[in-house]
Each structure stands twice: as structure tokens, then as C-alpha cells.
């Protein structure tokens, strides 16, 4: 059974607290979604703002293979805005639970039914396709819900969608409901939220019950706990449910789509996120790494290549010599058995002190064991910060670059930004260094937490991560940044 995918990263995903995308960013994500074979793209909600409308209109004008939708309430004004945006379909969202009908809309079931049908009529009269979505369907009276859907289909809805708006479905109930509603005269779609971590399971159960389409977002972003995760659904269908379902999605683009969405939305993933998390194919323990090197199937349910990800061997407390050697080879370092043993000993002692060993650390250990005398070209001599609630954050740095002393100062939107700006001024002779990513974790709880900063830098084809762990976020950031740059300009 071919399952169609509606991606709502640009609508429900954008409703993630703190996320706001520019028109250009929306277009980049939409292009990626179209490229990887998504069937429907919900590009936004046309009524939101003039900027949102221009973004949706621009996406509609691209001539993508995917059908483009806008969210719409059953209100003519909303639908007129959708028409302005030249979308193919509207996602016509009609609340069906008594709670929403009575409390939110302050109306009655009968009036709601009229509202819904008039809106469908209006859409069809203006040449719009309609996906009729029942909001809060999982807390609606099923007989009434069925009536809204069947009358809606008679009026002209092309597809219907059951929304588990607050994520309260469970898989067996989902299966039963979809077994019933899929007998109606239009394809039914499923839209799940992840409040209890069941969005993907409930979506799969809906497909088993007869749903022909699902809604999802990249990385599972969305309101509150988010939506069903696109990459988890697509890959579990591919690997676990291949004899029942298939999608049009190009699997090997899943990781790059996830990365793009994370970067543009600023919502970064937990490392253990299924399929696309940084640890999804990472192996640290000696026994696991050893097994994976002999035969990857021992500890991997699918290959990282399938989803465009990479296998990684993490060097830490549990690393074995084989895993360590693979990691060194990955860094372009070849060692003999004696040298490997020596590096292994140093790594273990660092790990015993509670540190995970970054690429930069490992390179330094290897350089040391291999007697590569590596002189850091840039050294931080001095760093001063002025910050507060009534001053522009300002930083001055003294750097030693190839033995030459350089003093620079700059301002920024915060003290870290000011410090990095000042360093950038100081190292302006090294061109083409790009700051790709900046990631901060507070390892322990309180305001005295140890701060772990990871920066990802790029120069030409060379990309590397550098890390620093300190109690002071500004020092950690500058140290990680300078150590990364030193590696890039060796
Ligand atoms: Zn939703």
C-alpha cells in the first residue's frame, strides 16, 4: 500500500515555541521536502501575516511536484487568503470536540456542521482541493465526527484527516478508529501529536487501520511535545513495515533534511534522537564497536547510509582498541600496534577523569605519541569582558599569532558574541573560516554548572568540531573556537 506523506514542518512545526522562519528559510525547507519526495507540503497559514502569505505564494510558484497547502479555518476570509497564495489545497481545520465547539468557538454542533460545509463549498467553487481536518478528533464524539466527515465528503472534501491534537490516542484505539473511518468515501489521513511519546506508534496503528496518508514534521518539531517525526515514520515503514506500506521518500536524504531544519529553526536534536540524532549510529563501548567493525548488523538495525547518516565511533571510557583505531583512521592518522597501545592508554586515563575525548583531544594525544611537534599558531594571551544591563557587551583580546602580539576589541549582542567578534578581528589574516554551529550544554545543574561548548568550523572542504569544557561559558567558547581554528590553519 502506497502511503502519502503530508509534511507540516512549515506550519505545525513553525508553531514550535520560539520558532519563526523567514520566507527564504521556508522556501529552502520546502525545496528540500519536494526534492525528497513529500507528496503534500503544508507551507503555512495564509491568514497569519502578509509576510507569511508572500512566503506561501512564493512556494506555490515554484512548480514543485508536491501539492502545496495552507492551513485555513472554516472562514471565508481565511480561504480568500489561501486563494491569494495560489495554493493547490487547503487544510481546512474544523474543531469537532464539544470542548472546542462550546468553549473555544462558543457555538453548537449544528452550526459547526454548517460552517464546515459552507467553507468546503466555497473552496470547491474557487477550484481549491480540500483536506477536511477534524481538530481534537480524538476527544470528539465518534458518531458526530463521522457525520462531519461523511457530510463533508458529500459536499466535496477530497480527503479527510483525523487530528489527535493533544496527543491522547493510544495505538489500539487508533487502530479501531481508523478501521471504522477508513470505510468512508474519501482517503483518510492521520495527524498525531507526541505528548505521551506515542505519535509515531499511533500513526503506524492508524495506517494499519486503513489510513492512506500521514502528517508529520521533520525532527518531530511542533507545538508542545511536537508532532509525529517524519524520519522515524519513513524509516520504520521502510524497515519494519515494508511488506504492508511504502512511501515515495528518498531515504538517503533524511539526515540532510533533518540537519537543514535543525539549523534553520534553531531547534537542535537530542543526541539519542532516533534515525537522525548524532548518536543514532554512534558506538562507544568496546564490545559494540568491535562487533560493528566485524559486522555492522550486530548492533545496528539499519545502515546509516540508508538515511544518509554516518557511523561514528566515539572515543570514551568504553572504547576498545579496534574502535579507537577506526576513529584514528577517520581522522587520517595511521599508527602501528605500539603507538595504538600508547594512545589507548592516554585516552583511557583522560576518560577516567570523566572527559569524553573530542576529535581535537584525540588528535593532540596522537600527535604527542607520534612525536609530531605541533605548534599552535594562535594562542590566547588575554581576554577581558565588560558586560551588564546598561553597557554594550565589549571584549578585548590579546592574541599571540605566530609569535606576533595582536590586540583587538569588539562589541556583540552578548559577551560570547563580543569575545568571538574580537577574536575574529584578531585573526582576520586567516580567510575563509566559517562558523557552522555553536552548541552549549550545562553539564551539571545550577548556576555553577560546568559548561560544555562545541563549535563546528569550516574552511573549504575541511569541517571540524572543537570542544571546551569549563565553568565559564565565555572562556569555554573562546577556547573551543581558537583550538578549532588552530586545527584548520595547520
Ligand atoms: Zn497539529
The pLDDT tens digits for 69-98 are: 999 999 999 999 999 999 999 999 999 999
**Mean pLDDT of all residues in 342-370:** 78
Residue 336 has pLDDT above 80, yes or no: yes
Question: What's the number of CA atoms in the CB half-sphere (13 Å) around residue 445?
Answer: 0
Band of residue 365 on the pLDDT scale cut at 50, 70, 90 = confident
Identical fold for domains 4-265 and 378-488, yes or no, is no
**C-alpha 371 to ligand 1 mean position (Å):** 58
Q: Is the dihedral of CA 27, 29, 35, 40 positive or negative?
A: negative
Cα of 303 vs centre of ligand 1, distance in Å, is 31
pLDDT of 266 higher than 60? yes
Please give the distance, rounded to the nearest whole angstrom, from the Cα atom of residue 34 to the centre of ligand 1. Answer: 21
Q: Rounded to the nearest whole angstrom, what is the distance from the C-alpha of residue 12 to the centroid of ligand 1?
A: 5
Listed by start position, the domains of the chain span 4-265, 282-369, 378-488
Structural fold of domain 378-488: Double Stranded RNA Binding Domain (3.30.160)
285-302: pLDDT as tens digits: 778 888 888 888 988 999
CB atoms within 10 A of CB 63: 6
Ligand 1 centre to CA of 75 (Å) is 19
Does the pLDDT at position 444 exceed 60? no
Rounded distance from Cα 163 to ligand 1 centre (Å): 7
Cα(44) to ligand 1 centroid in Å equals: 12
| Per-residue model confidence (pLDDT) at position 192 | 98
CB 211 within 8 A of CB 4: no
**DSSP state, residue 477:** H
* CA atoms in the 13 A half-sphere facing the CB of 106: 0
Top pLDDT among 11 and 320 is at 11
Question: Does domain 4-265 bear CATH number 3.20.20.70?
Answer: yes
Say which residue, 65 or 442, is predicted with more confidence.
65
Ligand 1 mean position to 213 CA, how many Å? Answer: 15
Q: What angle do CA 225, 229, 234 make, to 5 degrees?
A: 165
Kindly give the distance from the C-alpha atom of residue 15 to the centroid of ligand 1, in angstroms, as a whole number.
9
SS (H, E, C) 190-253: EEEECCCCCHHHHHHHHHHHCCCEEEEEHHHCCCCCCECEHHHHHHHHHHCCCCCCECCCCHHH
How far is the centre of ligand 1, averaged over its atoms, from the C-alpha of 60 (Å)? 22
455, containing H or E segment: strand 451-459
Where does 19-173 show beta strands of DSSP type E?
40-45, 67-72, 89-95, 129-135, 159-164
**DSSP helix/strand/coil, 360:** helix
C-alpha 193 – ligand 1 centre gap (Å): 6
114-134 mean pLDDT: 98
Ligand 1 is an ion; residues with CB less than 5 A from it: 12
Q: How far is CA 381 from CA 398, 408, 481, in A?
A: 5, 12, 14
Give the mean model confidence (pLDDT) for residues 379-383.
Answer: 94
Distance 407 CA to ligand 1 centre (A): 52
pLDDT, the chain, mean: 92
- Positive or negative torsion for Cα 464, 467, 472, 473: positive
Ligand 1 centroid to Cα of residue 157, in Å, is: 19
The string of DSSP letters for 260-300 reads HHHHHH--PPPTT-TTTSTTTTEE-SHHHHHHHHH-GGGT-
Q: How many angstroms separate the alpha carbon of residue 192 from the centre of ligand 1?
A: 7
- Render pLDDT for 395-420 as a digit per residue (tens, 0 to 9): 999 999 999 999 999 999 999 999 99
Element (H, E) at 34: helix 23-35
Residue 120 Cα to ligand 1 midpoint, Å, equals: 20
What pLDDT score does 373 carry?
56
Cell numbers at 173, concatenated: 484505539
Amino acid at each position: 500500500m502506497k502511503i502519502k506523506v503530508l509534511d507540516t514542518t512549515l506550519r505545525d512545526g513553525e508553531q514550535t515555541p520560539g520558532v519563526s522562519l523567514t520566507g527564504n528559510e521556508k522556501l529552502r525547507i520546502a525545496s528540500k521536502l519536494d526534492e525528497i519526495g513529500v507528496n503534500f507540503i503544508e507551507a503555512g497559514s495564509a491568514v497569519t501575516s502578509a509576510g507569511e502569505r508572500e512566503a506561501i505564494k512564493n512556494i506555490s510558484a515554484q512548480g514543485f511536484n508536491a501539492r502545496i497547502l495552507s492551513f485555513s479555518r472554516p472562514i471565508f476570509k481565511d480561504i480568500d487568503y489561501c486563494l491569494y497564495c495560489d495554493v493547490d489545497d487547503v487544510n481546512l481545520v474544523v474543531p469537532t470536540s464539544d470542548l472546542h465547539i462550546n468553549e473555544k468557538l462558543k457555538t453548537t454542533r449544528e452550526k459547526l456542521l454548517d460552517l464546515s460545509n459552507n467553507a468546503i463549498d466555497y473552496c470547491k467553487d474557487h477550484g481549491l482541493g480540500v483536506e477536511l481536518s477534524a481538530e481534537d478528533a480524538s476527544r470528539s464524539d465518534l458518531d458526530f465526527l463521522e457525520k462531519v466527515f461523511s457530510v463533508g465528503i458529500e459536499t466535496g472534501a477530497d480527503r479527510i484527516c483525523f487530528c489527535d491534537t493533544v496527543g491522547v490516542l493510544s495505538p489500539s484505539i487508533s487502530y479501531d478508529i481508523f478501521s471504522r473511518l477508513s470505510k468512508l468515501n474519501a482517503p483518510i489521513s492521520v495527524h498525531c501529536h507526541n505528548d505521551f511519546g506515542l505519535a509515531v506508534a499511533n500513526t503506524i496503528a492508524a495506517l494499519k487501520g486503513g489510513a492512506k496518508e500521514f502528517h508529520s514534521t521533520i525532527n518531530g518539531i511542533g507545538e508542545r511535545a511536537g508532532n509525529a517525526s517524519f524520519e522515524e515514520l519513513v524509516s520504520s515503514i521502510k524497515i519494519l513495515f515494508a511488506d504492508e506500506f511504502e512511501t515515495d521518500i528518498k531515504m538517503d536524504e533524511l539526515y540532510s533534511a533533518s540537519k537543514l531544519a535543525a539549523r534553520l529553526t534553531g531547534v537542535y536534536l537530542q543526541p539519542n534522537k532516533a534515525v537522525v540524532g548524532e548518536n543514532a549510529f554512534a558506538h562507544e563501548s568496546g564490545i559494540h564497536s568491535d562487533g560493528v567493525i566485524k559486522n555492522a548488523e550486530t548492533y545496528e538495525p539499519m545502515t546509516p547510509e540508508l538515511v544518509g547518516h554516518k557511523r561514528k565511533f566515539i572515543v570514551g571510557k568504553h572504547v576498545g582498541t579496534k574502535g579507537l583505531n577506526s576513529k584514528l583512521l577517520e581522522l587520517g592518522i595511521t599508527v602501528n600496534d605500539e603507538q595504538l597501545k600508547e594512545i589507548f592508554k592516554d585516552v583511557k586515563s583522560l576518560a577516567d577523569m570523566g572527559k569524553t575525548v573530542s576529535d581535537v583531544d584525540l588528535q593532540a594525544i596522537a600527535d604527542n605519541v607520534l612525536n609530531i611537534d605541533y605548534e599552535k599558531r594562535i594562542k590566547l594571551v588575554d581576554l577581558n569582558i565588560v558586560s551588564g544591563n546598561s553597557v554594550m557587551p565589549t571584549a578585548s583580546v590579546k592574541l599571540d599569532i605566530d609569535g606576533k602580539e595582536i590586540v583587538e576589541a569588539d562589541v556583540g549582542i552578548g559577551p560570547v558574541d563580543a569575545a568571538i567578534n574580537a577574536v575574529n578581528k584578531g585573526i582576520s589574516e586567516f580567510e575563509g573560516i566559517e562558523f557552522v554551529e555553536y552548541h552549549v550544554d550545562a553539564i551539571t545543574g545550577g548556576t555553577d554548572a560546568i559548561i560544555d561548548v562545541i563549535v563546528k568550523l569550516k574552511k573549504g572542504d575541511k569541517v571540524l568540531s572543537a570542544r571546551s569544557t569549563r565553568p565559564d561559558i565565555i572562556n569555554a567558547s573562546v577556547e573551543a573556537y581558537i583550538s578549532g581554528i588552530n586545527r584548520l590553519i595547520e
